[in-house]
Amino acid sequence: MTDPTQNAATPVPGWRRNLTRLQAIGIDIVLWVLALLMTEFLVIAFSGRRGPTGLLVTPEEVLLLLHYGVMAVAAVMLAMAWHLARGILGAPPGGALVYGLPEEEQDVPWSQTFRGWFVALLIQLTLFTGWLITEVQLVTFLTKFSKASDIIRGLLHPSGEILQQGLVLLVQTIFLAFMATAFAIPFAFVLSFLAARNLTRRNRLTRLAYTLVRAGMNFTRAVEPLVWALIFISWVGIGPFAGVLALWVHSVAALVKLYSEQVENIDPGPVEAITATGASAIQVLRYGVVPQVIPPFLSFTIYRWDINVRMSTIIGFVGGGGIGYILKPRVDLGQWGEVGTLVLLIAITVWVMDILSAKIRERIV
Amino acid sequence: MPDEAVRIESLTKVYPGGIRALEDVSLTVRTGEFLVVLGLSGSGKSTLLRCVNRLIDPTAGRIWIFGHEITAAEGSQLRTSRAQIGMIFQQFNLVRRHSVLLNVLSGSLGRAPFFRSLVTRFPEEEAERARACLERVDLGGRGASRADALSGGQQQRVAIARALMQQPSLILADEPVASLDPALRHSVMRHIEALNRDEGMTVICTLHDIDLIQRYATRMVALRDGMLVYEGGPDEFDGETFKEIYGQDAVPTSTLTT
Ligand SMILES: Nc1ncnc2c1ncn2[C@@H]1O[C@H](COP(=O)(O)OP(=O)(O)OP(=O)(O)O)[C@@H](O)[C@H]1O
Ligand SMILES: [Mg+2]
């Protein structure tokens, strides 16, 4: 039998070596561009010529775009120069990342290499720039607490008037989350088998399905439920149904990810055994795969319901039904007593759901 | 029944990553034989067995099962061929959360009505047959237990009943007793032997213990590094041949396992 390492020793083709070299230089160019941009930003901010976040380009400043070009060229030249002079300066960060550190530099402390200083400077620049861009105001934070005390007082003195309405909408919230989860189960169940690598790699058609489902679900999951809510509100109108749809879409994507990971972790033994009996693909799925994934599927589904209850509060803020719907106007009007009641209701529900779902999941697994 | 149960011609398997698990293996198994495959760990025994029922697709070479070329079969043809071949695994590979009876019934999936099988409803005569198969392996009363509630030896007997349920003409057994206590090994091997002797099923089995090999095999072949290096009957098999196959440092013991 051939040793697998023999195959690894086959020479790397030239184009591939050039590709990694380009990759290394590419990373360094990006790092230099970042360093130059942030330096410029700091200089501009402290010279007071523009507001701290005034990097946006106005029509008159379009000409200035030229200097981004200049900066890019400078970065390319600096990166190239460093790669050529790496004998003197040491390996640049991109090279270190792509090739690993050369032997003689491995134990040198960062403060003694050019690369170390460069990275340290980048981190410093990022911190300073971040401070300015997010408009951090430490003094205000530490001295102006009294302005918020009204809210805290209101939250601590919940008003009873809104309790009944709150309870009704709380029930709606829980059912909203439940319906979204229930609708999501069959879709996620079917899709999760197509999103599992171990079941799809043997045949070209299923491999294609795998790629499509994965890509589609990743995209769907990347879009916030709040955005889905806005989409469905304009589709079916304000109300809990829009919230159900928004949470449904997001839950399908999230559950497919969780489910398919479980499918990928199953014991391949029973699958082999059922295949060997002459069963068809669907029967193999039914007998070899499904029994193994039912308990974790149930557990994840309950967990998802729990998450959906929390999310539906936020969905309500934009008109997706549930308790968030009456919370939002009271926040806007500063009726902190009533806000306190609602927040308390939500907190208790989330807390109870959390305990319940943990208990049930413990039982199942 | 044709005289040739299995014919393998120039079988080669290269795994992704370049590992050559089988190298130009040619072999004929006659109907009714109890063929034992031996060889060191990694010599390609499991790969050979899995190629026979196409759990693994060979890289090159052809295999005929009772005259039908399984390496050329696809779809329902392949499933029909597989249904003729029962397989027994080292790790039993039962569906742990299913009942013992349902595990045995799953041996009939190859011929079961499709939609009813999806809701685990099998025809009554199949249930009858499954109970009979359980009787055969001395587990008559355990049909309702969950599979993972049984001991290792019992689970392997359920797996044998599942293979029996297929009403196969050929049994592949990949180290069927390697995960069992030495004391239990004969009790499991006896059942496989019964399939061979009483039902006339051809058996291809990988084994490591020299006394099991001598007791059950009617013929054996050995693999080393994916190549067929030995073929002979049980009478010619002794400590010397054992050393040839397993290397000079090997000691033939009854408990040698991998
Ligand atoms: N799925 C796989 N992918 C890659 N290589 C594999 C795979 N399965 C087996 N191999 C390799 O193929 C070779 C033969 O493996 P095989 O399992 O057939 O050996 P074996 O004789 O059954 O060994 P054992 O006695 O340990 O069960 C080994 O080198 C193994 O590492
Ligand atoms: Mg093996």
Supply the range of the domain harboring residue A185. Answer: 155-258+293-364
pLDDT surpassing 90 at residue B180: no
Q: Quick check: B135 and A330 in contact, CB under 8 A?
A: no
Q: Work out whether the CA dihedral A118, A119, A120, A126 comes out positive or negative.
A: positive
Final residue before a domain boundary, out of A143, A173, A203: A143
Residues A34, A169, single domain; the answer is no
Are B226 and A1 within 8 A, CB to CB? yes
For tokens 């999760």, name the residue: A192
Contact between chains at B79 and A276 (C-beta distance less than 8 A): no
Q: Residue A289 gets which letter from DSSP?
A: I
- Interface with B, mutate which of A1, A7, A283 (most B CBs under 10 A): A1
- In this prediction, residue B251 carries a pLDDT of 61
Nearest CA to ligand 1 atom 25: B41
What does the DSSP 8-state code read for residue B140? G
pLDDT at position A210 is 94
How high is the pLDDT of residue A8?
Answer: 43
Residue B90 Cβ < 6 Å to ligand 1: no
Same domain? For A221 and A326 the reply is yes
H or E element at residue B204: strand B202-206
What is the domain count for chain A? 2
Closest residue in B to A266 (Cα) is B95
Q: Are residues A165 and A312 in the same domain?
A: yes
Same domain for A163 and A136, yes or no, is no
Q: What is the pLDDT of residue A286?
A: 93
* Same domain membership, residue A168 and residue A126: no
On whether ipTM exceeds 0.95, the answer is no
pLDDT at residue A51, rounded to an integer: 47
Residue of B33, B9, B6, B44 lying closest to B220 (CA atoms): B33
pLDDT tens digit sequence for B95-108: 999 999 999 999 99
Residue A233 domain flag: yes
- Does ligand 1 come within 6 angstroms of the Cβ of B18? no
Single out the residue of B221, B210, B224, B217 nearest to residue B252, CA to CA.
Answer: B210
Kindly state whether residue A91 falls inside one of the protein's structural domains: yes
Domain stops at, among A143, A178, A197: A143
- Tens digits of residue pLDDT in A66-111: 778 888 899 999 999 999 988 888 889 998 888 888 888 888 888 8
Question: Measured between CA atoms, how close is A300 to chain B, in angstroms?
Answer: 19
Q: Which of B18, B79, B81 is the closest to A4 by Cβ?
A: B18
> Which two three-digit tokens encode residue A267?
């014991």
Per-residue model confidence (pLDDT) at position A106: 83
Question: Is B26 a residue whose pLDDT tops 60?
Answer: yes
Same domain membership, residue A334 and residue A188 = yes
Per the CB < 8 A criterion, the answer to whether A173 and A359 are in contact is no
Distances in Å between the Cα of A84 and the Cα atoms of A18, A29, A76, A77, A170 are 15, 14, 12, 10, 66
Does A7 map to a domain? no
Structure-token match 């569906």, residue found: B95
Whether B39 is in the pocket of ligand 1, judged by its Cβ within 6 Å, is yes
Q: What DSSP designation does B94 have?
A: -
- Answer for the pair B150, B180: CB distance below 8 angstroms, yes or no: no
Instruction: Tell me, yes or no, whether A2 lies in a domain.
Output: no
The verdict on A163 and A71 lying in the same domain is: no
CA–CA min distance A201, chain B (Å): 13
Do A197 and A323 share a domain, yes or no?
A: yes
Q: Is the CB of B57 under 6 A from ligand 1?
A: no
pLDDT score of B52? 94
Residues of B in contact with A1 (CB under 8 A): 19-21, 23, 42, 44, 225-226
Q: Residue B87: its chain A contacts at CB < 8 A?
A: 272-273, 276
Spatial contact of A307 and A313, defined as CB atoms under 8 Å apart: no
Out of A211-215, B40-44, B157-161, pick the least confident: B40-44
CATH of the domain at A196: 1.10.3720.10
Nearest by CB to residue B91, choosing from A1, A7, A269, is A269
DSSP conformation class of A88: H
Do residues A243 and A162 both lie within one domain?
Answer: yes
- A236-263 pLDDT, tens per residue? 988 889 999 999 999 999 999 999 999 9
Of B106, B87, B84, which is closest to residue B95 (Cα–Cα)?
Answer: B106
Supply the pLDDT for residue A259.
Answer: 94
Q: Is the dihedral of CA A178, A180, A181, A183 positive or negative?
A: positive
The low-confidence residues of chain A, meaning pLDDT below 50, are: 1-9, 51-53, 56-57
Q: Do A114 and A169 belong to one domain?
A: no
Spatial distance between the Cα atoms of A212 and A194, rounded to a whole number of angstroms: 9
Are A350 and A245 in the same domain? yes
Whole-number Å distance between alpha carbons of B22 and A138: 70
